[in-house]
Amino acid sequence: MLKSEENDDTVKKLREEFVAQWGALGSQWGINRTMAQIHALLMTANEPITTDDLMSELEISRGNAHANVKELIAWGLVRTVIRKGERKEFFEAEKDVWEIARTVARERKRREIDPALGVLRECVEKSKGIKTPEAVAFHKQMRALEEFVSFSSRVADQISAMKHGYAIQMVAKLLG
């Protein structure tokens, strides 16, 4: 076997390992394993990939591939690429790691933190005037949670808006 073929085989195996691990990691973060694997495959591809390529590489159905690509597009992590003369759609992932992190933070905030914050604010508001010991304790706990989640939400907004270089400088100051 030629050296370049050995290198290609090594990279292929490493990529397969990464795709599998990214899928497992996604599951731990509450993300569909297949969606995370598709993201990993697209993130590490040199060229845009078709649905057929995703199906073949990951051994998944067309419906599964299509649904997960659609969700990745909705998250803003993947985009459709149209190639002149091609009938098939091609897909590519955002490759900039900082942009991926910003996008995930923004989407998780919108999908998870904002609704939780809404519930906490409602609980605080509706329990405000009740004077029983249980209601006072509940209100105090909800208020503390609302303040913390609200603060976290503002921090996430600030971090999501930062450019990579500035964010690194800020973190270096905090850790220094």
Which residue is listed with tokens 């976290």?
152
What is the fold of 3-93? Arc Repressor Mutant, subunit A (1.10.10)
Residue range 153-159: average pLDDT? 84
pLDDT above 80: residue 174 = no
Residues 55-109 pLDDT 10s:
999 999 999 999 999 999 999 999 999 999 989 999 999 999 888 888 888 888 8
Higher pLDDT, 158 or 147: 147
Strands 90-93 and 49-50, sheet pairing: antiparallel
- For residue 87, give Cα distances in angstroms to 51, 77, 112: 12, 23, 37
